[in-house]
Amino acid sequence: MTAEARRNWLMALAVALAALYLYVGVAAHGLARWLALGGGTLIIAALIAGWRSRPVARPLLLIGALPVAVVTWWSIVTPMLAMLALVIGWMAVKAVRTVPARSAGT
């Protein structure tokens, strides 16, 4: 498997996990709903931010995935989903090449 194909698969899996997080947000009630909706959005934002800055993307992954897992600790699905989102998202962010920012003079 080429590096580009691996990166694309990792990104697709991470986006699918973020979509599942958004689905959990739609199905949940109370605090878990808002944390899951925000978490799914932050996971997608982390994948987008990974193209520019890995140090910014990694905390976004953590902030997006962990709160729902903590709030719904009694369930097996959401903590496992959070773990998968962290691992696959971390690998996806690591697989992308960061694009250098343009300097002010160009």
Q: For 36-58, give one letter per residue: b (16+ CB within 10 A) or e.
A: bbbbbbbbbbbbebbeeeeeebb
The span from the CA of 49 to the CA of 33, in Å, is: 24
pLDDT 10s digits, 35-90: 999 999 999 999 999 988 889 999 999 999 999 999 998 889 999 999 999 999 99
Cβ proximity of 81 and 73 under 8 Å: no
61: enclosing H helix or E strand:
helix 54-71
Q: What are the sequence ranges of the domains in the chain?
A: 3-95
Q: What is the pTM of this model?
A: 0.85
Q: Which two tokens stand for residue 74?
A: 């009694």
